Amino acid sequence: MKQIIFVLLSIFVTSKNLYSQEFFKKKQYLKENIGDPLKIPYSFAGNFGECRPNHFHSGLDFRTEGKENLPVYAVLDGYISRIKIEKGGFGNAIYITHLNGYTTVYAHLNRFYPLLEKYVRDQQYKNKTWKIDIPLLPHQFIIKKGQLIAYSGNTGNSSGPHLHLEIRDSKTESPLNPLLFFKVNDTKKPILKGIAVYNADKSIYEQTPNILQVSNGKLKKDTINVSSKSVYFGVSADDFIQNMPGILGVFELRLFVNEKPFFAWQLDDISYDSTRYMNAHADYKHKKLNNQWVQLCAKLPNDKLNIYKSFSPSNGRVDLSDMKPKKIRIELYDASYNSNVIEFYIQTDNKNLTSSSAATCKYDFKAGAKNKLSNQDISIELNEDALYDNICFDYKKIETNNPYSDEYQIHFSYVPIHSKYKLRIKPKTEIPQNYKSKVAIVRTDNAGNSKSKNGIAAIVMPSGIEIETNSFGVFKIVIDQTPPNINTTLKNNTNISQLKKISFQVTEETTSLKSCNLYAGEQWLRLVQSGNTFTYELDDNLPKGKNILKMIAVDENDNTTEKIFIVNR
């Protein structure tokens, strides 16, 4: 009897272990304790894998108590291997390479520690550019765990003061999930807010999902009835950590059909080369039209992410053609493996499952194939990786009084494009020679509440006006002769001896700024850019006495504005 019990117990334990390993193994990247980057209680404003416009969030956002200039410390021993400064993105960022195979990135900083700050400023003056990306050698800036490296800020694409921290694999440079490194006391489970049901026989862009609200962990009805012969699901979900305000994203999803593992994804190790595939992982159209993220429990046809694990060739699509109800279980996990589970049934109520004749489509664009459209007015060509799912391409010509161009609806901006495509528009009349260097194509968003416009400097070719873009929308040709606008409170003959900085507001109407520089005579002066604001922090490169400052702003079509100020220091 004891032998039988032992055998049964062994079978149970073995099957349980196998069952738990069918999805993703638990990861432990570091055995040593990682340091505290701010030395204040942890509070996160964002975590790894959250859906963001055109990318997954690649790190962990530490709140800085609503303040800037908090000391930032290295979390491990290493050396500073790279410094990058840019208007958008990470703003001011430090990269530290560690001997254990990882690299940490500290972003949105205001300034670096004094020795590094001086080095960076010297490099900027040497190369006459504020925007830099400098690789460094191991011996130049050796760093110890807990050492001051910078001060926190709000630079780059940042909506408020915080520290963005990434942990990357040094060999692949892929960001890893920092919550698998930091020890966080988290016992709160993710919250499932809604289940989206899709017709798997249609493109995601040719349908509207059925969004079912989840209340107290349950749907309103235990059984979902659909009219399609196959479906897939999406989830709207949030995660929380106790004693921390704010909403985070979930780490892992597991889908079971009739108690068997069916499909899963885990958000970790997502490279920058593939991060734009977030637009396939989530329902981009639903987000664009309804401002709600829905993450799919299936893989779109041309999604190349490596985050998925499918236990059938269907990649998350559930076949209902046998008319039998299917039991569905969806499990959501955070990085501490707190979980939330929902179960329900789904079945088709359509007894006639033979496919009806599809609506005629004039321009049938296929995901994974090259797609072209060319006529007397426009020409477009999409590469094989451009579309995530098939679309019935919509094209429309809208007549206008513009002497050079009508407007052209190039499908809808709620369909994401992965790679840039060439768009060529034939002008209504020939572009005069003196305007050929001033041509731009302006795109208007034509989905959701946004009617934003942006222009791209275009190339004039014998066959038309050409740009490269990675968005659909409404396009037209314009002549861009308007130079950038420079505004400042600085007046001529001002004594600036008591000032610490001088600021300028520089805006561009049609395209974007190509360059913006400030000179004192022949001496280049460093302008720090934040959005449309350019700031010169007075330094020794501006001599005492009378100075003639010249501010020069140039846009993509080489329209130029120069302003001269006489100042005394």
Q: What is the pLDDT of residues 267-285, one digit of tens each?
A: 999 999 999 999 999 999 9
In a domain? residue 437: yes
Q: Which residue in this structure is represented by tokens 């007894």?
A: 351
DSSP class per residue in 442-506: EEE--SSS---EEEEE-EEETTEEEEEES--EEEEEEE--PPPEEE-S--TTEE-TT-SEEEEEE
Sequence-ordered list of residues with C-beta below 8 angstroms from that of 219, at least 6 positions apart, any chain: 195, 212, 213, 342, 344
- Number of independent structural domains in the chain: 4
pLDDT at site 358: 60
What letters, b where the CB count within 10 A reaches 16 and e where it falls short, cover 333-342? bbbbebebeb
Last residue of a domain, one of 479, 509, 535: 479
User: Torsion angle, CA of 50/97/145/266, rounded to 10 degrees?
Assistant: 30
Domain end: 293, 317, 348, which one?
A: 348
Residue 525: CATH number of its domain: 2.60.40.10
Predicted pLDDT at 473: 96
Give the per-residue pLDDT at 448.
Answer: 66
Instruction: Please state, rounded to an integer, the average pLDDT across all residues of the chain.
Output: 93
- Residue 11: pLDDT band (50, 70, 90) is very low
Judged against a pLDDT cut of 60, whether residue 12 lies above it is answered with no
Distance between CA 153 and CA 157 in Å, rounded?
A: 11
> In terms of residue numbers, what domain contains 76?
44-180
Domain-embedded: residue 356: no
More confident call, 80 vs 22: 80
> Does residue 39 lie in a domain region?
no
Q: Which of the pair, 129 or 15, is modelled with greater confidence?
A: 129
Residues 389 and 520 in one domain: no
The dihedrals phi and psi of 328, each to the nearest 5 degrees, come to -110, 135
We report the CATH number of the domain holding residue 470 as 2.60.220.30
Whether residues 308 and 337 fall in one domain: yes
Q: Are 157 and 206 within one domain?
A: no
Q: What is the pLDDT of residues 207-255, one digit of tens each?
A: 999 999 999 999 999 999 999 999 999 999 999 998 898 899 999 999 9
| Contact indicator for 537, 465 with CB cutoff of 8 Å | no
Closest CA to 477 of 373, 406, 421: 406
Give, rounded to a whole angstrom, the gap between the first and last alpha carbons of the chain. 97
Whole-structure pTM value = 0.92
> What pLDDT is attached to residue 15?
39
| Residues 195 and 171 occupy one common structural domain | no
What mean pLDDT is predicted for residues 503-526?
Answer: 96
Q: What are the strands, taking DSSP E only, across 172-229?
A: 175-176, 191-199, 210-213, 223-226
CB atoms within 10 A of CB 452: 10
Do 251 and 315 fall within a single domain? yes
Same domain assignment for residues 199 and 168: no
For residue 321, the 8-state DSSP code is T
* 59 and 172 housed in the same domain: yes
Q: Give the mean model confidence (pLDDT) for residues 198-204.
A: 97
Q: Could you say which of 132, 158, 180 is where a domain stops? A: 180
Predicted confidence (pLDDT) per residue in 310-327, tens digit: 999 999 999 999 999 999
26 located within any domain: no
User: Domain check: are 458 and 515 in the same one?
Assistant: no
pLDDT over 60 at 8, yes or no: no
In contact, 229 and 314? CB cutoff 8 Å: no
In this model, does residue 19 exceed pLDDT 60? no
Express each pLDDT in 427-470 by its tens digit. Answer: 999 999 999 999 999 999 988 665 678 999 999 999 999 999 99
Q: Are residues 101 and 137 in the same domain?
A: yes
- Answer with the residue of higher pLDDT: 136 or 29: 136
pLDDT band at residue 25 using 50, 70 and 90 as cut-offs: confident
